[in-house]
């Protein structure tokens, strides 16, 4: 019902672009080889054990430094998130060949932007919880990546801050099972009208902060001059609402329906990142940003498989798992990821190419980790074959997330630290 009502709203110039890109990426994914991927390097068990020891040393050194730090709870939370990112980069470098360290500069820039974002997010809304900050921070770094790809300075812009924080406010509210459907309907209508530029009163308390964030974006991008920025925000809003159908246990949703919804949601999310980062985009940048977003969405669906399964959410991964193993769909995802590297060929600068390679290797790291954690969803032969191309044993990868959580304190304890810092004025 929500999706249908939003569909009837005023169409934007972005609609044809999104329809075309969705169709293109769906075909691209389905055309990706279902066969076992080609990898550049195998790892012996001895090499995997050595890498694990080096990674453990990195984790221990970082968590010890964070524990000794006198920084506020919010700052510590940012350090934990940066640790997670550094682990991905650490593993990705073993998957890369010929890296010259060029990407290190970007990572330091991203780190500084992350610190700034956490400070401003806590100042904007002290009630934000740890998961919201983490979710938004990941989007900040995606936007930073697009800044590098587009040859722009890595920075936290007002609109970048606003869009990154807007996403958790809206997506999490629509995902909240405690919110009645009719309230979500009112929320969707009001938010859509505000994104379209109408003067709307925030009659629902949950709309207050999103409206403030939209105003920040308007402050950097005047609507008359940058209409497509706001069209892209409407596109992700529409995709979020359409994706609500995936939360229902509806037998009417086919695998094709679910794939199209996931592609549109993931693609429009990063497409909006591109517009917020640059204001205007060339067609080739739209293609790249949309495809990158699709890859990230499908990876998220693989990572969240068990949680989505428990809640009855329908994703490509849960739909596939319901009828068999995930061997083929994971092959397609890995091969789809590889094909996206070619779509970034227009990124001529050495810095952009270095970051592109690192990003895609980091994506492979996340896929390997998700596969290890969902090992019971795969055939034994497939896991054995894939593990040989992982820098870490699957048994280690399977426990890595919990290991990081344990060594950097649990989210609950970190949340308490943030709250204590906020209410004590530190």
Per-residue pLDDT tens over the stretch 175-203: 788 888 888 888 989 999 999 999 998 88
Scanning 196-226, the segments in alpha helix (DSSP H) are: 208-220
* Residue 248 resides in a domain: yes
Euclidean distance between CA atoms 77 and 66, whole angstroms: 9
* Residue 43 resides in a domain: no
**101: alpha, beta or left? (left if phi > 0; alpha if psi -120 to 50):** left
**DSSP assignment string, 287-301:** HHHHHHHHHHHHHHH
* Residue 276 resides in a domain: yes
* Residue 373 resides in a domain: yes
Question: Would you state the structure tokens that stand for residue 130, as one six-digit string?
Answer: 């740890």
Euclidean distance between CA atoms 99 and 108, whole angstroms: 17
Whether 130 shows a pLDDT value over 80: the answer reads no
Average pLDDT for residues 47-56, to the nearest whole number? 91
Contact 372, 384 (CB under 8 A): no
pTM score, whole prediction: 0.85
* Residue 46 resides in a domain: no
Supply angle C-alpha 167, 123, 219, rounded to 5. Answer: 60
Euclidean distance between CA atoms 106 and 154, whole angstroms: 8
* Residue 341 resides in a domain: yes
Selection from 356, 359, 367 nearest residue 389 by Cα = 367
> Which is higher by pLDDT, 206 or 62?
206
Average pLDDT for residues 2-13, to the nearest whole number? 47
* Residue 388 C-alpha from the chain's centroid: 27
Confidence of residue 375 (pLDDT cuts 50, 70, 90): very high
Question: Would you state the structure tokens that stand for residue 157, as one six-digit string?
Answer: 């812009």
Neighbours of 65 (CB within 10 A): 11
Selection from 292, 304, 248 nearest residue 268 by Cα = 292
Euclidean distance between CA atoms 65 and 86, whole angstroms: 14
Whether 267 shows a pLDDT value over 70: the answer reads yes
Per-residue pLDDT at 1: 34
End-to-end CA distance of the chain: give it in Å, rounded. Answer: 46
* Residue 413 resides in a domain: yes
Q: What are the tens digits of pLDDT across the range 199-242? A: 998 888 889 999 999 999 999 999 999 999 999 999 999 998 88
Give kind and range of the element (H or E) at residue 221.
none
Secondary structure (3-state) at 398: helix
* Residue 86 resides in a domain: yes
Q: In whole numbers, what is the pLDDT of the chain averaged over residues?
A: 83
Q: What are the tens digits of pLDDT across the range 378-418? A: 999 999 999 999 999 999 998 887 777 776 654 433 333 32
Whether 2 shows a pLDDT value over 50: the answer reads no
CATH number at residue 82: 1.10.600.10
Domain count along the chain: 1
Whether 18 shows a pLDDT value over 80: the answer reads yes
- State the residue range of the domain holding 164: 2-32+57-417
């Amino acid at each position: 019902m929500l999706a249908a009502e939003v569909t009837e709203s005023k169409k934007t110039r972005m609609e044809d672009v999104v329809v075309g890109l969705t169709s293109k990426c769906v075909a691209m994914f389905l055309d990706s080889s279902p066969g076992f991927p080609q990898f550049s390097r195998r790892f012996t068990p001895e090499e995997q054990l050595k890498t694990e020891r080096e990674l453990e040393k990195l984790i221990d050194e970082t968590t010890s430094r964070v524990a000794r730090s006198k920084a506020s709870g919010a700052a510590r939370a940012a350090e934990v998130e940066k640790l997670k990112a550094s682990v991905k980069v650490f593993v990705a470098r073993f998957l890369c060949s010929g890296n010259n360290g060029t990407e290190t500069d970007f990572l330091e820039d991203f780190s500084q932007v992350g610190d700034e974002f956490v400070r401003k997010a806590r100042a904007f809304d002290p009630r934000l919880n740890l998961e919201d900050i983490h979710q938004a921070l990941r989007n900040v770094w995606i936007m930073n990546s697009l800044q590098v790809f587009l040859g722009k300075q890595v920075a936290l812009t007002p609109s970048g801050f606003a869009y990154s924080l807007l996403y958790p406010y809206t997506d999490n509210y629509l995902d909240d099972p405690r919110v009645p459907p009719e309230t979500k309907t009112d929320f969707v209508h009001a938010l859509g009208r505000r994104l379209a530029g109408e003067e709307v009163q925030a009659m629902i308390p949950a709309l207050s902060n999103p409206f403030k964030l939209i105003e920040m974006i308007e402050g950097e991008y005047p609507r008359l001059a940058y209409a497509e920025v706001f069209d892209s925000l409407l596109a992700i809003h529409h995709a979020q609402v359409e994706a609500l159908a995936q939360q229902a246990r509806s037998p009417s949703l086919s695998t094709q329906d679910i794939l199209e919804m996931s592609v549109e949601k993931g693609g429009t999310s990063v497409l909006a990142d591109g517009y917020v980062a640059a204001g205007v985009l060339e067609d080739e940048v739209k293609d790249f940003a949309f495809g990158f977003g699709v890859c990230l969405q499908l990876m998220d669906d693989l990572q969240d498989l068990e949680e989505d399964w428990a809640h009855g959410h329908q994703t490509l991964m849960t739909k596939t798992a319901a009828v068999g193993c995930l061997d083929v769909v994971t092959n397609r995802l890995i091969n789809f990821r590889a094909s996206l590297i070619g779509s970034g060929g227009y990124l001529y600068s050495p810095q952009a190419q270095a970051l592109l390679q690192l990003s895609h290797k980091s994506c492979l790291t996340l896929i390997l980790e998700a596969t290890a954690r969902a090992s019971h969803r795969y055939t034994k032969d497939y896991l054995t074959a894939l593990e040989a191309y992982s820098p870490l044993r699957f048994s280690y990868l399977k426990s890595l997330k919990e290991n990081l959580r344990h060594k950097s304190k649990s989210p609950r304890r970190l949340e308490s630290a943030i709250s204590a810092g906020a209410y004590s004025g530190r």
